[in-house]
Amino acid sequence: MTESNLFEQQAANRRRSTWLTVGFVAFTGWIGFGGDWGLYLLTRDAVEGYRHVVPGIGAVFTAIAGAVAWHAWARGPEQVLKSAAALELLEAASPDQMRLNNVVEEMAIASGLPKPRVWIIPDSDPNAFSTGQDPSRAHVAVTDGLLRALDRDELQAVIAHEMAHIRNYDIRLLTLLAGMVGAIVLLSDLCRNFLRFGGRVGGRRSGKRDANPVAIVVLTVWLITLLVAPIVSRMMAMAVSRKREFLADATGAQLTRNPEALARALEKLDGASAATRSITKGTAHMCIVDPAERRLHGGLGDRFASHPPIGERVRRLRAMAFAPAA
C-alpha cells in the first residue's frame, strides 16, 4: 500500500463518516416526519376525536438523532469501552501485561502513530478491538483470554491489525456505526411500542368516505421502515466491517512483515468457540473476530456474521506469506 493510497483511504473514511452521520439524521427524520405525515393524512378528515397536526414525532426524533450523532462522536469510544467493562492498563501487573504494553509501543512506532491507550477486558474468550475519534485519541482493548492464548508474534500481529484500523481511520467510522445502529434499534422499538399501546387514532369521519389511500400507503411504508430498519442498519455495519477487516489484515501484515503470525492468531481465535460475552451485539463489528459463538458459523452462519469467514482471511494472509493454506 503506497502512502498516496493510504492518504486516499483516510480521506475516504472521513467522507464516509460525514455521510453516515448525514444519512442517519435524514433516516431518523423520515421515521419521525413520515409518521407525522401519515397520521396527518389519516386523521385530517376526522370531525371529532384526535387530529394529528403538529409534527411532534419528527421534531423529537430529529432532535434525538442529532443528540445521538453528537454523543457517538464525542463519547462513543468511552461508552464502547464502558459497555465491555474494560480496565485501562496504566501500570503492568503481570508479564503478559508488560508484553502487551511493549508490543503496543512497538506497533505504534512501526505505524508512525502516537501510542494508543491500552485497555484489558476481563473475558476469557480471546478477542480485541480498537476505538476512538482519530489516531491521537485512539484506544486498543484486548481480553484476558487473548493475552493467554497468543505468543508474542501472534499478539504483535493482532495489535498491528488494530493499529491498521487506527491508521486508516476505521475507528471513527466503526464507532459511529456502533452508536447509530443502537439508536436505530431503540427508536424502532419505541415506535412499535407506541403503535401497540397508543390506541386508536382519529375519530368519526365526515361523510362515508373510506380512509385516505395516500395515508394508508404512507403509513404502510413507514411501518415497513420500522420493521426493517434494525436489520438494514446491522447489515450495513456488517458490510462496512467485512471490507475494513480485509484491509486491516493486509495493513497489519505489512507493519509486522509477518502475515503468517496473524494467520495463526486468527486460527486460534476461531478455535475458541465460546462467545466474547463482554462485548455487545451493537459493537460486534469492531472486533478482530465476531464475538458471537464461532461454533455457530460456517455455511449460512457466515453470511450473517459481522466479519468475513476466518478461513478466507487466513487464506489471503498465507497467500501473502507464500505459504500453503492449512
Angle at 241 between CA 296 and CA 316, to 5 degrees: 80
C-alpha cell belonging to residue 214? 395516500
Q: Residue 78 catalytic?
A: no
| Domain residue extents for the chain | 3-75+173-231, 81-171+239-320
Instruction: Mean pLDDT check: name the lowest of 64-73, 166-175, 296-305.
Output: 296-305
pLDDT of res. 10: 55
Which residue has 491521537 as its cell numbers? 136
Going by pLDDT thresholds of 50, 70 and 90, the confidence category of residue 198 is: very low
- Over range 106-127, report the average pLDDT: 96
Specify the CATH number for 81-171+239-320; select among 3.30.2010.10, 3.40.50.300, 3.10.20.30, 3.40.50.880: 3.30.2010.10
Q: Are 215 and 42 in contact (CB under 8 A)?
A: yes
Q: Mean pLDDT over all residues of the chain?
A: 80
- Over range 94-114, report the average pLDDT: 96
**pLDDT, greater one: 261 or 22:** 261
Q: How far apart are CA 43 and CA 30, in angstroms?
A: 19
Going by pLDDT thresholds of 50, 70 and 90, the confidence category of residue 231 is: confident
pLDDT of res. 196: 60
Q: Are 51 and 215 in contact (CB under 8 A)?
A: no
Q: How far apart are CA 175 and CA 247, in angstroms?
A: 17
- Over range 127-152, report the average pLDDT: 94
Q: Are 112 and 160 in contact (CB under 8 A)?
A: no
Q: Are 187 and 64 in contact (CB under 8 A)?
A: yes
Helices (H), 44-169: 56-74, 76-83, 95-111, 144-149, 152-167
Interval 150-181: pLDDT, tens: 999 999 999 999 999 999 888 887 777 777 77
pLDDT of res. 202: 47
Going by pLDDT thresholds of 50, 70 and 90, the confidence category of residue 212 is: low
Going by pLDDT thresholds of 50, 70 and 90, the confidence category of residue 224 is: confident
222: Cα within 13 Å, side-chain hemisphere: 24
**pLDDT, greater one: 113 or 171:** 113
pLDDT of res. 159: 98
Q: Are 149 and 267 in contact (CB under 8 A)?
A: no
C-alpha cell belonging to residue 179? 452508536
pTM for the model: 0.73
pLDDT at 95 over 70: yes
Cβ of 321: how many Cβ atoms within 10 Å? 15
pLDDT at 258 over 90: yes
pLDDT of res. 280: 80
| DSSP state for residue 174 in the 8-state scheme | H
pLDDT at 267 over 90: yes
Cβ of 236: how many Cβ atoms within 10 Å? 17
Q: How far apart are CA 244 and CA 307, in angstroms?
A: 9
pLDDT of res. 7: 59
Q: How far apart are CA 321 and CA 99, in angstroms?
A: 25
Q: How far apart are CA 249 and CA 241, in angstroms?
A: 12
| DSSP state for residue 198 in the 8-state scheme | S
Instruction: Mean pLDDT check: name the lowest of 32-46, 94-108, 174-188, 297-311.
Output: 297-311
Going by pLDDT thresholds of 50, 70 and 90, the confidence category of residue 4 is: very low
Choosing from 8, 91, 105, 162, the catalytic residue is 162
Kindly state the helix (H) or strand (E) to which residue 26 belongs, with its residue range: helix 3-43
- Over range 141-157, report the average pLDDT: 96
Q: How far apart are CA 66 and CA 3, in angstroms?
A: 35
pLDDT of res. 317: 92
Pairing state between β 138-143 and 128-132: antiparallel
